[in-house]
Structure 1
Amino acid sequence: MNLDEQELEMARKWLDFTVESFIRNMRKLRIKQTGALMASFKKQVIGAASGRLQLQLSYALYGKFVDMGVGRGMGLGVRRGDDGYDRLRNSRGQLKRRERKAKKWLGKTLAYQTKRLSELMSELHSTILLSQVSDVLPTEDVVVNF
Structure 2
Amino acid sequence: MAEKTNVQIARSWAAVTFKKWRAEIKRLKIGKTGTLNSSFQAFVTAESGGDLTKIKMLYAYYGKFVDMGVGRGKKLGSGNSRLVNKLLGTKPRKEKVWYSKIIAKEVYILAQIIQENAGNKSVSVLDKITGTVRLEM
| Residue equivalent to 2:117 | 124
Q: Shift of the alpha carbon at 1:34?
A: 1.7
Contact map agreement 2:85 2:92 (CA 8 A) in 1: no
Mean Cα deviation higher: 49-58 or 17-26: 49-58
Q: In structure 1, what is the Cα distance between the partners aligned to 2:113 and 2:85?
A: 48
Larger Cα-atom Rg: 1
Matches for 1:14-53 after TM superposition, within 5 Å: 14-48=13-47, 50=50, 52-53=52-53
**What's 2:79 paired with?**
none
Tell me what 1:70 maps to: 70
> Residues 93 and 30 from structure 1, CA distance in 2 versus in 1: closer, same or farther, beyond 3 angstroms?
closer
Cα gap change, 1:51/1:98 in structure 2, threshold over 3 Å: closer, same or farther?
closer
Identity %: 31
Q: RMSD between aligned alpha carbons?
A: 2.7
Match in the other structure for 1:108: 101
Letter in 2 for 1:53: T
TM-score, normalized by length of structure 2?
Answer: 0.77
SS of the residue 1:130 aligns to: helix
Q: Distance in 1 between matches of 2:16 and 2:10?
A: 10
Q: List runs of 5+ in structure 1 lacking aligned partners.
A: 75-89, 140-146
Query: What letter corresponds to residue 8 of structure 2 in structure 1?
Result: E
**Equivalent residues, number:** 123
Query: d(CA) in 2 for partners of 1:39 and 1:123?
Result: 32
Q: Following the alignment from structure 1 to structure 2, what is the Cα–Cα distance between the partners of residues 51 and 63?
A: 27
